[in-house]
Structure 1
């Protein structure tokens, strides 16, 4: 099954400002979260989830067909 990933404007802006190493780590974290659908919050609700990498984190909401990444962070 194919899932969609949408980035909030805040997440897009944060991702654009990261160095290449940070962008790669955040994108890997998004991909890892996307593949672990059983750990997503309830689809379509107000609930969010966070995932953490070695130096990055994301906050996202889930839908039946994918996720919206709301926030992105990286400790450089």
Structure 2
């Protein structure tokens, strides 16, 4: 089953400002969050979740068919 990933405008803007390495790190964490469906918060609710990587993190909410990433960070 394919899942969708939506990015908030703030996330899109942040990704544009990151160097290639930071962009890659954040995208890897987004992929990891998407793959861990069992760790998603309840779909459509107010609860969010955070997925951390080695040097990046993402905050997201869940829907029945995917996630929306609303905040990202990179320690560079």
TM range (shorter): over 0.9
Give the alignment's Cα RMSD to 1 decimal.
Answer: 0.5
Instruction: Determine helix, strand or coil for the equivalent of 1:42.
Output: coil
TM-score, length of structure 1 as denominator length: 0.97
- How far, CA to CA, are the matches of 2:38 and 2:53 in structure 1? 18
Gaps of 5+ in 2: none
Runs of 4+ in 1 over 4 A off after TM superposition: none
Structure 2 length-normalised TM:
0.97
Equivalent residue, structure 2, for 1:49 = 49
What is the rounded CA distance, in whole Å, between the counterparts of 1:50 and 1:11 in structure 2? 14
Say how many residue pairs are matched.
Answer: 76
